[in-house]
Amino acid sequence: MEQYYDKLMECVLEGEEEEAVEITRAEIENGTDPLDIVQKCLVPILDDVGDKFSKLEIFLPDLIMSADVAKAVKDEIRAHLLSSSNDSESAGKVAIGTVQGDVHDIGKNIVATLLEVNGYEVIDLGNDVAPYAFIETAKRENVDIIALSSLLTTSMPYMVDVLKTMEGLGIRDQYKVIVGGGPVSAEWAESIGADGYSNDANEAVELCRKIMAERKAG
């Protein structure tokens, strides 16, 4: 897998979307677990890209290009998982997005990817999402969980707005709300009344799994 990792990293950084999909397909056909590709290759690569962006080693066009390649790889993996799955039952439905005032989405994209390959239906609202857009989507799509991401401290108050708006509409108890992102903490999540906090993508999947188990248990 090391050779694949190096080649995928090269594709992501250079925007080679078609080649990234081809080598991913070949890696899966050679017997590599698709989930291993996500967790051991795609997630670390996107973490590295995000780190390069924060250090100004790459710029916004590069970040967008890399995200497009990662999405193509994710779609290939998801298609394979769906075609080989004997269990069509959804693990749950999640509306996810980066809150208003923040256009960062690498971390959010990683979480969305891991949720999808673990059987969740994901409605990705993108970035700079207004508070009511989360609520409107949750109601329309009948989601189980609303996942809010923020990479800027200046955008974190919009997480509060989502929760307060839900309370004002009398629908707070209908949905579980989880939060995450660089400046977000477990203490912050508790202080605003969120239902959970995750430090990374793997933890987010485990948190959603726990929430869904509790919902099904009644």
What would the two tokens of residue 38 be?
């996500």
Spell out the residues 6+ positions from residue 215 whose beta carbon is closer than 8 angstroms to its own. 92, 144, 176
Tell me, yes or no, if 104 is annotated catalytic: yes
**Cβ atoms 160, 192 nearer than 8 A:** yes
Tell me, yes or no, if 102 is annotated catalytic: yes
Of the listed 149, 150, 155, 198, which one is catalytic? 155
Of the listed 66, 104, 124, 198, which one is catalytic? 104
Tell me, yes or no, if 155 is annotated catalytic: yes
The secondary structure of the chain, three-state, reads CHHHHHHHHHHHHHCCHHHHHHHHHHHHHCCCCHHHHHHHHHHHHHHHHHHHHHCCCCCHHHHHHHHHHHHHHHHHHHHHHHHHCCCCCCCCEEEEEEECCCCCCHHHHHHHHHHHHCCCEEEECCCCECHHHHHHHHHHHCCCEEEEECCCHHHCHHHHHHHHHHHHHCCHHHCEEEEECCCCCHHHHHHHCCCEEECCHHHHHHHHHHHHHHHHHC
DSSP state of 41: I
Which residues are part of the catalytic machinery?
A: 102, 104, 155
